Structure 1
Amino acid sequence: MRARADGLAAARAGHPVTRCPRFTDPRLTAAWVRGYAMVSQSSSSIPGSANELTV
């Protein structure tokens, strides 16, 4: 749970995904990336974001 929260915090701070620490357990790395991805998924559905289609 901590790894996912750290990934989420890194994404919100604007750090690149390459900032992911080198965990000895691949499950921790996966959790960190999932946390990081939560921000990019939610920002793609925000009105006015770069991914919004303007007609």
Structure 2
Amino acid sequence: MPELPEVEVTRRGIAPYVTGRRISAAVARERRLRWPVPAAFESLAGRVVRGVRRRGKYLLLE
């Protein structure tokens, strides 16, 4: 598990590259995650990333 500063550095690093970009595909390779993957997960394809934020050690793409 990464430490909090590492997650923040990663967020700052990827934000300029993904913000404003269109999601080409959404693939859940492993469905046994902490929470169940919603059935509508694949519908994220084609949407635009508005920003990247962090909640604890999780990165959230808006």
> How does the TM-score come out when normalised to structure 2?
0.24
Higher-helix-fraction structure = 1
Higher-strand-fraction structure = 2
